[in-house]
Structure 1
Amino acid sequence: MPCVSQSSEARVPVITMASSKGGSGKSTLALVLAGAFAVDDYKVHIIDADRAGRLLDWAKGEFRPANITVSAADEETIQDEIARAKRNGANVVLVDVEGTANLTIAWAAGASDLVLIPANPSTQDVTDALRTQRLLHRSAQNGGRQIPHALVWSRVPSVRSRDMSQLEKQVAEAGLPIIGSVYERTAYKALFSYQTTLDKMDPKEVPALEKSTREAGHLALNAVAFIKSQKAAA
């Protein structure tokens, strides 16, 4: 995946997973992306800024790839932690922000190249995603810098529901781009139970693993392509 720079600290992409509510799939999305980058030998650093600490717990597993590291942060330390990760040689920095911590979201977003807003395909989740979008708009106004952001669908059923088209229309009308989906698959749930990445799992034990790994790679490529397109348009 020749898609991120391994040279200059200033060019290290920072991708933040943010939502105004919990349970939207932020931590899962962070691990999906981390694994997709790590399998191609990029050094990935994850910053767990959620008090639930799911990613810190995940990192304790013995099968965590050596090129994925995880640290904690809060609203006071988040920007320093991002800068530290870059100095320590990370090629990609991923940030998982607590759903209710609006100030932490704002600080993390201000230091990010892209904010991904995960949302389950439901009316309530879309409402919350649009609330997060408005928070990013306010942060951009206060900081004098546009913050690239996009939606990623979480826990998408394999069979498309009747409501999906209406939800997509609602998101499009709000001007919120959609760059991909994380489907409702055992493989994604297994990221936490196995405490590893998709490429380290046994396909005999985890169904649809190859398909999930391919989807993860496409999502990572889409994220980096979106960052590049936003920088080109700036």
Structure 2
Amino acid sequence: MTKVLSLISTKGGTGKTTIALNLAVAFREARKTVVVLDLDPQATATAWSDQREDEDELSVLSCQHGRLQAVLQAARDNRADIVIIDTAPHSEAAALAAAKAADLILMPLRPEIFDLRAMANTVEMIGVAKKQPTAVLNAVPVRGPKVQEARTALEELGLETAPVTIGNRAAFGYAAIASQGVTEFEPEGTAATEVKALRKWVAKRLGAA
């Protein structure tokens, strides 16, 4: 059965596309059939895919939110294991469509006060779809108390936080330039280890291990 993972945040710069693409590569490496649906008009994920050498091993499709259900049905008909939806930061219509379609919603945010304040809008919007997101702390500093402070703030708001955090690591930028995931660019690196751990957690939550 096809499982749908949506990356949603109404704030820009939280790392939705980075996490979506790196998870897609990691799932593919775990021998899953993966489709990424790029709902962002800027089409960053699609451009990343266009530069990859092997066009057939990972499918990234630019999609308008009005056609989301039709494209999802096509993915199901083709027996995709995982569909990952990457949304635009300032399109509530696209985010709402992605939320309604999701089996699991990840809400990336950095452990910074502006991201923590802005997430309330995302949570409220996702609530319209009668869904609850799981926060993923992204671009986490290597040292300092910000992670625990963010976790405490999220707990006080009654939000679940993924046990895996993604660090602020240069490998993500270098991998993006090469149109790769960090698990391809630097398979034994710390960034790759974090992405693999997040993939395993997501797979368990989706029942797609």
Scaled by the length of structure 1, the TM-score of the pair is 0.82
Which one of 95, 101, 122 corresponds to residue 132 of structure 1? 122
Q: Which moved more, 1:193-202 or 1:129-138?
A: 193-202
8 Å CA contact 2:172, 2:181 repeated in 1: no
Shift of 1:175: 1.3
Shift of 1:150: 0.2
Deviations 1:27-56 (A, max 9, x none): 001012111101122111000001111101
Greater gyration radius: 1
Aligned residue number for residue 102 of structure 2: 112
Aligned residue number for residue 34 of structure 1: 24
8 Å CA contact 2:171, 2:186 repeated in 1: no
SS in 2 for 1:131: helix
Shift of 1:115: 0.8
User: Do residues 171 (structure 1) and 161 (structure 2) align?
Assistant: no
User: Do residues 24 (structure 1) and 14 (structure 2) align?
Assistant: yes
Aligned partner letter, 1:105: A
Aligned residue number for residue 56 of structure 2: 66
Identity of aligned residues (%): 22
Aligned partner letter, 2:201: N
Shift of 1:105: 0.9
Q: Take 1:184 and 1:65, find their aligned partners in 2: how far apart are those partners?
A: 29
Aligned residue number for residue 4 of structure 1: none
Deviations 1:188-211 (A, max 9, x none): 1123200022343257xxxxx532
SS in 2 for 1:156: coil
Aligned residue number for residue 153 of structure 1: 137
Deviations 1:109-144 (A, max 9, x none): 11110110000110110122232111111221xxxx
8 Å CA contact 2:186, 2:192 repeated in 1: no
Structure 1 alignment gaps of length 5 or more: 1-10, 141-146, 204-208, 229-234
Structure 2 alignment gaps of length 5 or more: none
SS in 1 for 2:30: coil
Q: Take 1:197 and 1:66, find their aligned partners in 2: how far apart are those partners?
A: 16
Q: Take 1:112 and 1:96, find their aligned partners in 2: how far apart are those partners?
A: 11
Q: Take 1:225 and 1:165, find their aligned partners in 2: how far apart are those partners?
A: 24
8 Å CA contact 2:75, 2:83 repeated in 1: yes
Shift of 1:104: 1.0
Aligned residue number for residue 181 of structure 1: 165
8 Å CA contact 2:137, 2:166 repeated in 1: yes
Provide closer, same or farther for how the CA distance between residues 18 and 201 of structure 1 changes in structure 2, counting only shifts above 3 A: same
8 Å CA contact 2:140, 2:147 repeated in 1: no
Q: Take 2:149 and 2:168, find their aligned partners in 1: how far apart are those partners?
A: 20
Shift of 1:167: 2.0
Q: Take 1:138 and 1:108, find their aligned partners in 2: how far apart are those partners?
A: 12
Q: Take 1:100 and 1:62, find their aligned partners in 2: how far apart are those partners?
A: 27
Aligned partner letter, 2:137: W
- Aligned residue pairs total 206
Which one of 207, 214, 217 corresponds to residue 196 of structure 2? 217
Q: Take 2:114 and 2:138, find their aligned partners in 1: how far apart are those partners?
A: 13
Q: Take 1:213 and 1:115, find their aligned partners in 2: how far apart are those partners?
A: 22
User: Do residues 57 (structure 1) and 47 (structure 2) align?
Assistant: yes
Aligned residue number for residue 185 of structure 2: 201
Scaled by the length of structure 2, the TM-score of the pair is 0.91
